[in-house]
Homo-oligomer: A and B are copies of this chain.
Amino acid sequence: MRIVLDAMGGDYAPPVAVEGAVMAAREFGIEVVLVGREDEVRTELAKHDTSGLKLPIVHASQVIEMQEHPAAAVKAKPDSSMVVGMKMLRRGEADAFVSAGNSGGVLAAALFHLGRIKGIKRPALSTIYPFFDKEKKAASYCFLIDVGANAECKPENLLQFALMGHVYAEKILGIENPRIGLLSNGEEETKGTVVVQEAHQLLKQSGLNFIGNVEGKDIPMGMADVVVTDGFTGNVVVKLSEGLAMALFSFLKVEIEKRPLATLGALLARPAFKAMAKVLDYREYGGGALLGVDGVVIIAHGRSDAIAIKNAIRVARKAVETRMIEAIKQGLEELLPSIPGKGA
């Protein structure tokens, strides 16, 4: 297996990207192709013990920066690490592409150079949302799609996201017949925007394990294995959750520090806090899959450290191993014979 890593992508690239690639190559025994400015990548690589590891470098002279307009940057920079890497995937020279760079840029590069899966009109960005399973008293994971690729969606887009979420949850997360929920502002099928109401009807007829609308509170409560929403709302959900968790714990910290006994108590309770922090740590999940493009593309958090990069490569490897793309294609044929706009 050969996975392409955008060595220039992310807030701390290339050092952190290269370090993550070294970790992944060693731990998973796979080849990780580092695409980026050869001299910079080589300098970073020299800092690590890479004996016996497959870590070839493919030179790409340009970099798409975080603040650039995605589509324009992808067109203007044909020798960027994103475009060069995506083209390798297209030509079958690699099995997956991983980047912690400008996510709009990855989306645009994938659309231009990889193309969509036939039948999927709009690719979507997904993420793993950790939650606490009250019954099992253990951490569990919800799959959230779309979290930012499409601010505006049509009902059939949401249906297609649900199908892709179903396949991902089964193949990658190992959840049999995952419960699919549609995010809305109420449980009743009459709730939501017109698009959400129409999507509800399509999902009811889809043959998927559709459990109906879910509300905001149901996501962290784990009411659904897959939560389907548009990229605007999904983005708000993910960022709000990050911000709220941080705000709650900084708040708690200040209240604890005001009180000497509570400070001692928090010290004693520290392992419990750490156990929870580990579950909430985005680095554990290895970034989100860009689903609907014709190849395995994983987008890691811009703030990724080496562990996050390594885990993103792990997710990519699993998607290749489980033949995720083929499963989505097959799912489109089997599950949704009368899916609107399928011929697109």
A-side interface residues toward B, CB under 8 Å?
131-132, 134, 137, 139, 148, 151-152, 183-186, 191-194, 196, 215-221, 231-233, 235-248, 250-252, 254-256, 258-259, 261-262, 264-273, 275-276, 279
Contacts and interface: CB of A to CB of B under 8 A. Distances in A.
B250 A248 contact: no
A218 B279 CA distance: 23
A133 to B, nearest CB: 9
Given A232-B185, A240-B217, A132 B191 contact: no
Contacts of A276: 248, 251-252, 255
B148 A236 contact: no
A250 B138 CA distance: 11
B191 A216 contact: no
Contact of A137 (B239, B247, B254, B266): B254
A191 B152 CA distance: 11
A268 B231 CA distance: 43
A152 B220 contact: no
22 contacts: A131-B247, A132-B251, A151-B193, A183-B236, A185-B235, A193-B232, A196-B232, A215-B239, A216-B239, A219-B243, A220-B244, A233-B233, A233-B236, A248-B276, A251-B276, A252-B272, A255-B275, A256-B269, A261-B268, A262-B272, A264-B268, A266-B269
A258 B243 contact: no
Given A237-B236, A239-B217, A241-B240, A269 B279 contact: no
Given A233-B233, A245-B244, A262 B268 contact: yes
A185 B265 contact: no
